[in-house]
Structure 1
């Protein structure tokens, strides 16, 4: 039974191919036994869905509805067209009907439940009340319960089909009747045409000579980004520094896109900034709603959880060790990246300026929290918190706060270290705060943020702290050994057993982490902190296009092939993640920067232009090839073969391929 959206089901393909995230959606599912298609529209609080099945075998569809409040109740109806009705606290009277073209081809049974409900085990409840019963078609699995209820908070309807069929489901309230039949078809066609027109107006792909596959990939990228937006309500489990117990934090409600419906079906803070680069181009109002929703989860001191795991359903999809959010651990403030773009949009400012003004105090609180909590020992340096300084199991202790997870940092975490990417994020944050202060603040903060943004954008200071003249690149700084490895150690008293631990061959020293070059080292380029005439820009571009370092025919790899950490496991059970594979969010940021530098007259203009053209072509060509081969966008791409890998469909920041195709990099 398909209940969770799970990539482990290994379907041949599924996803929205046309959806606006608000009023309609169209989705195909290629099952092992045939194909299903789903179309839906809404009408006020009502909605209609049409399901078409082209299957080779008998199949079953189960519809269910659960009320989370005690006041709402449902009742079973007498026939398919009035399958159940009820009264809810939010919507008032509701009813649901199913219209099947040939009712003789369907057998339906129902389940009504009013005992204790566990939202993460609703599929188990259905299994427990399923029996193999005789019918005029022989033995058929049907819903049957020993203790029937007259009304309840959970209702399920099982529809058994023996042939390809089509059904229409209509959910109605007293305020709005659902559109059905020809009216549904007409409205669906109208909304899809409006979507197509708005898509072309937003991204202008028609005249860019993209292939049919590339254009289909582009529309699927947007549709799945919008179709994956969800709403959650509940508590996070959080832990304060030094505390042994976790405490509930909330309740919160969240509107957010997700990286992957099948593997990461929840909100991630640093992903969300990238998601809204795309969402804003199509639906700026929706993007603002999402960002405000995220800022509303902020604590009084300015902390926002890295992952929003709200409620038992969300927790059921997360390994237990990752559920707890620690209140001293940050995440890249990528929302500043999208706000910076919004501040360049005169139409958006004119129409939605008051919303941005209302966001300013919370953005300021967040920025100040990052300043305090992630400060380094030296002035204007910053250090991601949360690294494990005592572990012997990891080749290089992870930096989950950075979003780059296992990307190598200083081998021995210490208070002496400071991180290049975080310094660059803070420079961006200060720039945004300065712009907001001048737009919406009285004079008291204008001078402060002007000085702060100037100090963090100071290129001489950035060079002094992070530039290695010998290696001609920007680096992290910290206590680092240039030779560590994982080795097997025998377990005392247990012959034949061993543990895998890190061996430090060369003693660590304080200095730049110069045996690591990858995405982290490109942040001064990505966030445009290098002056366009500075020689450091030339050196960075040279390294960017070097095939021995980051350049591939499929995009920029995350870590140089020359690094000893390239493609290396971090523990015995922890394969490489940000150690060579190609990630689309970082490639987007590089392309955006290349377009910026390519627009400025200077010694490296043509070099930036050439890199932009070649990188864009490599990314689009490879992702379209993999989309055509597999039907999916992927979490990342193999730097040796270009093949998609990781979770799929991954319609989070991999959907930025549409922005890349549109050439609108928000310069």
Structure 2
């Protein structure tokens, strides 16, 4: 039975603090297991906890105005009352998100509830091994709100009984003894799950809390396919008047409900049998994880001099923390059209209408349940896995936590079917489907998505082979194998990944292949077979490309070829060629070498348009001729963005002209998705028709940096100048919008820099963190600093500093001459020290941060 006092013995406290001190002293966080324990893996909730395994205990936090229970019921009836549970787009929040958070240890989230005039803070932490955890929930009424305001807080626990309830018990009760004795424990629970063992859970409040009435335990029995609908279950329970304070076990969902007047703080603590975690320990753990996070953030993502301020440090911390805080564990079935209808080959002239008719009559099947560990683009709007987003999400994660990144990649690849297909959108189970319109829930095995995961391979290889320094969390892949322990080397992980990547690559080539038969004309000199087109096309959309409404040939044609599809295959072939060489796979090297060379050839033969001076899509005209369709924008830049153009490529100058032209793609806030001069700019849905998207801008800055630091190349200087200014514009746009609104956004206006689309889009927009420390040769802090327009000039303050530096140098030389006469040889070290200080003062010796974040910064094969 649960002990109401929860007083740990001297030895348990000593063991706890010894474990914490040991973890802190060696910098470890249990590299192999810690992230696999309890964490906020329910990112669609403001705060939701679970284990990353099926049949977990599902937990989450709710709050609402606490005047009376009818106010909670009114929440469900949409009568201008708010019951917070799931993250929503329009709930009157003036900002929310993690300020500092790491999956392995925990962190702090701030929620500014404008409508309820309440600031909520959740501090999540866990023991070094991850078995026990706690969340400290604090509520503070906002300014001008009387302290008499009442807030209802409810914590819900539910049994995710996907298979069976057998062997599972869960019961909660009000701790009347503790309350009558004026002690801190409000509510207590105990349970026993087969894969979790016996556990205890309790709510403990600080002495200054003003409880309104007594806490309440509510129980409900909910169908297993609705176990995630905690808000509805609570409201139904209140409407039915079904609250209880008995100690009987029962129900598969429990609500621990309490109401406070004024500010409050309550700890919710989970502890398995044999583990000890008290409220007194939580502060220590929170302080430790915060200091470790700050230290690791400075090391892994240092910022350049242009952004060295407290404001940008908070910005950097927010970007990373909210990317990590969007990590979710998903388990469930998926809706798939497995009919393989012949219309899906899309070979007829009106293929999109025939495909639509086939879809309308298709029998949809439900797959067996599958699991996925995935980062999410947006907690309120896209709280699920997206294939083409995930590659961008993992760019910073590889630097921060390599093992976590590889585990995420593995779970994605394990979703692959026998043919090599991975559904582009993972809508697993009824909870995930609740956020998706029904017509978009079905996945089609002939639909592809940009294969961004394969582009991570060069980065991973650079880490495990130590070409690029890795200073993130300790990794099992970045080790020096001991004698006879070669199985722990990097080859073990990469050898397991290779066949899955290869299978998906071949599936893409097969299902998205272009038609090279004699039916359609192709230019002379083409390498037959290396041309692709996205299936799933309509006259207005190409959703499978990831660029939705970006203009293409209209009407669609079965003989068309899509530039970006070919570029993605080329980038994948290059990455797999490097992996094949690393693993010593001769046949793979031969295959990918030919593919890569043919693709580079066909990019120019099939898609380069001399008249436009750009790469373009291609189609077959009404007269039966091969024709290029040029809508200048992100598609035009894809060969450059994906690292397929050498520093001396003959078309590179034209590409740089295009992206730096303010009448086309260049804007003060980043590169536009579509040229300002295009007829479709800003038209219709206006999704990828002019707005600035930060994932593509990050790629652009990275590739400009690659050209700028290359050993040779005629465009080195121009690439550096453009890259430095683009980097500044991108960072400043995301930062300004974040500072003004409390959110990062899905896209940004090319005119004003205002955030657009989904708010709290902490997926690939968070990749902006990779630019904060990136510097360009010849463009230091003065040239990369804040502002708009051309590179900033040194101001008066900088000039004064330099004059003073010269004066100090002259004075120092005079002193050194005198000292030299007296001490001779001892002066050499002093002179070196003085010279270093001078160079630092004048900006000549700034350390440039060149973390390997570019998709092909390091070609391990040393060839193209």
- TM-score between both structures, scaled by the size of structure 1: 0.89
Alignment of 1:542-557 (within 5 A): 542-557=657-672
Structure 1 unaligned spans of 5+:
133-141, 389-395, 482-506, 570-574
Secondary structure of 2:119's aligned partner: strand
Secondary structure of 2:93's aligned partner: coil
Deviation at 1:104, TM superposition (A): 5.0
Asked if structure 2 preserves the Cα contact closer than 8 Å seen for 1:412 and 1:508, the reply is no
Map of 2:522 onto structure 1:
none
Instruction: Report which stretch shifted further, 208-217 or 160-169.
Output: 208-217
Map of 1:500 onto structure 2:
none
1:14 aligned to which of 93, 96, 117: 96
Deviation at 1:359, TM superposition (A): 0.5
Map of 2:739 onto structure 1:
628
Map of 1:130 onto structure 2:
238
1:170 aligned to which of 251, 269, 283: 269
Asked if structure 2 preserves the Cα contact closer than 8 Å seen for 1:566 and 1:579, the reply is yes
Map of 1:58 onto structure 2:
150
Map of 2:282 onto structure 1:
184
Map of 1:375 onto structure 2:
513
Q: Which has the larger radius of gyration?
A: 2
2:124 aligned to which of 17, 25, 40: 40
Map of 2:258 onto structure 1:
159
Structure 2 unaligned spans of 5+:
1-82, 176-184, 342-357, 471-476, 480-489, 517-528, 775-850, 858-864
Moved over 6 A (4+): 145-149
Give deviations 1:210-233, integer Å, cap 9, x for gaps.
333222111100000011101000
Deviation at 1:446, TM superposition (A): 2.9
Map of 2:316 onto structure 1:
218
Asked whether 1:201 is paired with 2:299, we answer: yes
CA separation of 1:342 and 1:150: change in aligned 2, threshold 3 A: closer
Deviation at 1:148, TM superposition (A): 11
Give deviations 1:359-388, integer Å, cap 9, x for gaps.
001001000000100100132100100113
1-structure distance, mates of 2:379, 2:594: 43
Deviation at 1:626, TM superposition (A): 0.9
Give deviations 1:591-643, integer Å, cap 9, x for gaps.
11111111222221111111101100111112111111111111010011110
Alignment of 1:75-154 (within 5 A): 75-79=171-175, 80-102=185-207, 105-106=211-212, 107-117=214-224, 118-131=226-239, 144=243, 150-154=249-253
Map of 2:562 onto structure 1:
419
CA separation of 1:248 and 1:149: change in aligned 2, threshold 3 A: farther
Map of 1:582 onto structure 2:
692
Secondary structure of 2:369's aligned partner: strand
Give deviations 1:36-84, integer Å, cap 9, x for gaps.
1110111222211111111242111110111122132211224145522
Secondary structure of 1:325's aligned partner: coil
Instruction: Report which stretch shifted further, 420-429 or 142-151.
Output: 142-151
Asked whether 1:315 is paired with 2:433, we answer: yes
2-structure distance, mates of 1:122, 1:36: 20
1-structure distance, mates of 2:424, 2:639: 23
Asked if structure 1 preserves the Cα contact closer than 8 Å seen for 2:457 and 2:579, the reply is no
CA separation of 1:606 and 1:206: change in aligned 2, threshold 3 A: closer
2-structure distance, mates of 1:555, 1:206: 19
Secondary structure of 2:495's aligned partner: helix
Asked if structure 1 preserves the Cα contact closer than 8 Å seen for 2:682 and 2:689, the reply is yes
Q: Which has the higher strand share?
A: 1
Asked if structure 1 preserves the Cα contact closer than 8 Å seen for 2:210 and 2:260, the reply is no
- TM-score between both structures, scaled by the size of structure 2: 0.69
Asked whether 1:517 is paired with 2:599, we answer: no
Deviation at 1:90, TM superposition (A): 2.0
2-structure distance, mates of 1:66, 1:602: 61
Give deviations 1:549-584, integer Å, cap 9, x for gaps.
010111011000111110100xxxxx2100000000
Secondary structure of 1:194's aligned partner: helix
Asked if structure 2 preserves the Cα contact closer than 8 Å seen for 1:480 and 1:513, the reply is no
Instruction: Report which stretch shifted further, 431-440 or 551-560.
Output: 431-440
2:417 aligned to which of 271, 274, 299: 299
Deviation at 1:648, TM superposition (A): 1.1
Secondary structure of 1:340's aligned partner: helix
Deviation at 1:10, TM superposition (A): 2.7
Asked if structure 2 preserves the Cα contact closer than 8 Å seen for 1:397 and 1:413, the reply is no
Deviation at 1:123, TM superposition (A): 1.4
Asked if structure 1 preserves the Cα contact closer than 8 Å seen for 2:327 and 2:375, the reply is yes
Secondary structure of 2:418's aligned partner: coil
Give deviations 1:406-434, integer Å, cap 9, x for gaps.
11111111211111111111011111222
1:565 aligned to which of 674, 680, 704: 680
Deviation at 1:405, TM superposition (A): 0.7
Asked if structure 2 preserves the Cα contact closer than 8 Å seen for 1:407 and 1:578, the reply is yes
2-structure distance, mates of 1:49, 1:446: 51
Asked whether 1:410 is paired with 2:553, we answer: yes
Secondary structure of 1:538's aligned partner: helix
CA separation of 1:157 and 1:548: change in aligned 2, threshold 3 A: same
2-structure distance, mates of 1:262, 1:238: 25
2-structure distance, mates of 1:434, 1:622: 37
Asked if structure 2 preserves the Cα contact closer than 8 Å seen for 1:25 and 1:227, the reply is no
Asked if structure 2 preserves the Cα contact closer than 8 Å seen for 1:82 and 1:95, the reply is no
2-structure distance, mates of 1:651, 1:448: 38
Asked if structure 1 preserves the Cα contact closer than 8 Å seen for 2:133 and 2:271, the reply is yes
Instruction: Report which stretch shifted further, 117-126 or 616-625.
Output: 117-126
Asked whether 1:454 is paired with 2:552, we answer: no
Superposed CA RMSD in Å reads 2.1
Asked if structure 2 preserves the Cα contact closer than 8 Å seen for 1:75 and 1:85, the reply is yes
Map of 1:230 onto structure 2:
328
2-structure distance, mates of 1:534, 1:614: 22
Instruction: Report which stretch shifted further, 521-530 or 205-214.
Output: 205-214
Alignment of 1:320-469 (within 5 A): 320-345=438-463, 346-347=465-466, 350-351=478-479, 352-378=490-516, 379-388=529-538, 396-440=539-583, 442-458=585-601, 461-469=602-610
1:642 aligned to which of 753, 756, 761: 753
Secondary structure of 1:579's aligned partner: coil
Give deviations 1:461-493, integer Å, cap 9, x for gaps.
321100011111100001579xxxxxxxxxxxx
Secondary structure of 1:326's aligned partner: coil
CA separation of 1:608 and 1:371: change in aligned 2, threshold 3 A: same
2-structure distance, mates of 1:20, 1:554: 30
Asked whether 1:658 is paired with 2:796, we answer: no
